[in-house]
Chain A
Amino acid sequence: MELNRGQPAAGPADPVEQVQKTYADWLEAGARLGLALLVVTFLAYVFDVWEPHVPIEHLPQLWSLPAHEFRAATGGPEGWDWLRLLGRGDYLTYVGVAVLSLASIVCFLRIAPALLARGERLYAAIALAQIAVLVLAASGAITGGH
């Protein structure tokens, strides 16, 4: 069966397809911001703009350790404690990582009300459940952080 583009089988205008573009716009902004921050802060780290928490020249003796031993050996942070080390070059790069990892949460927060407003209650519920899962993971409550 041949149908025109933008004319979903479910009806004249699929509400989920309508919010898809909003999701794409917000995702793109988050990805660009996260990657830019990642690269800029990494360059600042390797060019020693801010003193790192773990001296760079010590890393080759430490990076073969499991993560928990690395943390113990360096006094590294767990959970959201890296925020207290933002003045250190190595942990400043976590800002970019965090932005990349928060991008999808922000997108779902943006589209959940739009789905509800368009009468897509099931998909609004899925979006809210997805937000809950991602926020739970980001909070550190079940992921080993504080």
Chain B
Amino acid sequence: MRASKFPPMPQRFLLAAVLALAAASPAHAVESAPAAWWVWPVVLFAASFLLGIVAVLAGVGGGVLFVPLIGGFFPFHLDFVRGAGLLLALSGALSAAPALLRDGMANLRLAMPFALVGSITSIAGALLGLALPTSLVQTALGITILLIAVLMWRSKRSVFPQVERGDRLAVALGLRAVFTDPHTGHAAEWRVHRAAGGMLAFAAIGMLAGMFGLGAGWANVPALNLLLGAPLKVSVATSGLMLSIVDTSAAWVYIHRGAVLPMLTVPSIVGVMLGANLGARLLRVTRAEIIRAIVIGLLTAAGLRALLKGTGIWN
């Protein structure tokens, strides 16, 4: 087989994403003449499209990459970037959840109690995020993104955790069901435990989701899978459903405070959703571990950028 001197297709997309973000950095804008208004939504759409591909390939939501990268390298204020991040996470979750619910992959019974807690704290997080000084939010965002990179690097996942007995709260909520894998046809009963701990975890996750507009799939999945003990596929699907509820309450804070800029929000949502669609098709031909390593690298770079911007070292 002839060896190509070019990297494989998905890696080329990633390279293009990094180049697009670098080309859009404020440093370039300062050196050259100010760009026409329409340049920004076009570049934003292209960058969001590439982020959408990367996010799906890496199994993360678009928001967690979008907010630090666009907030770090584009001229928009972080308030608008967080508003757009939240709405694109919401749009993606709303689009995916119906099919996952019909397939029985997402579980409404599992989502409802924890989403209720998360939606209350996400309002508090959004209010706090818009009240605090931008530099402080940017610094906290940088630290959070770096911690997410560590979490992605270190975390393990359990395909089907063994839960012998549910705790009292889980039993009272009836958090047990049968999951049939649509691909294998294999059906097995599952139940969850540590429901009270789960409530606390989702309270914290909702707070972070509202404050930074990150979406929260990166935290929902480990909480559902490793803490509560739900099967991995149920956790991934239910996480999307929970996002559609939790992000809704925080989104209203951003809407009411005028932190939704259509020129930023709409190209981002359309770009990420189209990119995610292509990413889903590329999923079969990519090596997950390489994509994962690149995303951890991107998150680290974006986290450091946010941290340096927040502390005033690199504006």
Segment 148-194 of B: residues with Cβ below 8 Å from A: 172-174, 176-178, 180, 186-189, 191
Minimum CB–CB distance from B185 to chain A (whole Å) comes to 8
Nearest-CB residue, chain A, relative to B134: A66
What are the residues of chain A within 8 A of B130 when measuring CB–CB? 67, 144
What are the residues of chain B within 8 A of A104 when measuring CB–CB? 94, 244-245, 248
Are A17 and B256 closer than 8 Å at their CB atoms?
A: no
Are B98 and A144 closer than 8 Å at their CB atoms?
A: no
Are B113 and A60 closer than 8 Å at their CB atoms?
A: no
Minimum CB–CB distance from A91 to chain B (whole Å) comes to 8
What are the residues of chain B within 8 A of A64 when measuring CB–CB? 75-77
What are the residues of chain A within 8 A of B174 when measuring CB–CB? 10, 14, 16
Interface mask (B78-95 → A, CB under 8 Å = 1, otherwise 0): 011001000100110011
Are A25 and B98 closer than 8 Å at their CB atoms?
A: yes
B260 at the interface (CB under 8 A from A): yes
| A46 and B38 alpha carbons, distance in the complex (Å) | 9
Are B98 and A24 closer than 8 Å at their CB atoms?
A: yes
Chain A interface residue count, CB cutoff 8 Å, equals: 73
Given A59-B37, A126-B113: A9 touches B178 (CB 8 Å cut-off): yes
Segment 27-68 of A: residues with Cβ below 8 Å from B: 27-28, 30-31, 34-35, 38-39, 42, 45-46, 56-57, 59-60, 63-68
A87 at the interface (CB under 8 A from B): no
What are the residues of chain B within 8 A of A100 when measuring CB–CB? 87, 90-91, 94, 251
What are the residues of chain A within 8 A of B119 when measuring CB–CB? 130, 133-134, 137
What are the residues of chain B within 8 A of A46 when measuring CB–CB? 38, 41
Are A78 and B98 closer than 8 Å at their CB atoms?
A: no
B13 at the interface (CB under 8 A from A): no
Nearest-CB residue, chain A, relative to B97: A27
Nearest-CB residue, chain B, relative to A18: B108
Q: Please pick, from A14, A31, A93, A101, the residue contacting B251 in the complex, using a CB distance under 8 A.
A: A101
Are B112 and A127 closer than 8 Å at their CB atoms?
A: yes
Are B178 and A31 closer than 8 Å at their CB atoms?
A: no
Q: Which size class do B's interface residues fall under?
A: 35 or more
Are A31 and B34 closer than 8 Å at their CB atoms?
A: no
Are A137 and B253 closer than 8 Å at their CB atoms?
A: yes
Minimum CB–CB distance from A74 to chain B (whole Å) comes to 9
Nearest-CB residue, chain B, relative to A28: B98
Are B120 and A133 closer than 8 Å at their CB atoms?
A: yes
| A10 and B191 alpha carbons, distance in the complex (Å) | 10
What are the residues of chain B within 8 A of A116 when measuring CB–CB? none
Given A31-B95, A35-B91, A137-B249: A70 touches B255 (CB 8 Å cut-off): no
Are B79 and A66 closer than 8 Å at their CB atoms?
A: yes
Are A17 and B108 closer than 8 Å at their CB atoms?
A: yes
Are A3 and B189 closer than 8 Å at their CB atoms?
A: yes
Segment 197-256 of B: residues with Cβ below 8 Å from A: 244-245, 248-256
A113 at the interface (CB under 8 A from B): no
B263 at the interface (CB under 8 A from A): yes
What are the residues of chain A within 8 A of B188 when measuring CB–CB? 1-3
Q: Please pick, from B76, B252, B255, the residue contacting A63 in the complex, using a CB distance under 8 A.
A: B76
| A63 and B258 alpha carbons, distance in the complex (Å) | 12
| A100 and B250 alpha carbons, distance in the complex (Å) | 13
Q: Please pick, from A27, A45, A123, the residue contacting B98 in the complex, using a CB distance under 8 A.
A: A27
| A56 and B266 alpha carbons, distance in the complex (Å) | 14
| A24 and B79 alpha carbons, distance in the complex (Å) | 31
B262 at the interface (CB under 8 A from A): yes
Partner-B contacts on A (CB < 8 A): 1-10, 14, 16-17, 19-21, 23-25, 27-28, 30-31, 34-35, 38-39, 42, 45-46, 56-57, 59-60, 63-68, 70-71, 76-80, 82, 90, 93-94, 97-98, 100-101, 103-105, 122-123, 126-127, 129-130, 133-134, 137-138, 140, 142-145
- 8 pairs of residues in contact across A and B, judged by CB atoms under 8 Å: A2-B187, A8-B178, A24-B102, A30-B94, A76-B258, A130-B116, A137-B250, A144-B257
Additional A-B contact list (6), CB under 8 Å, known A94-B262, A105-B248, A122-B173? A7-B178, A24-B97, A27-B244, A45-B262, A66-B134, A100-B87
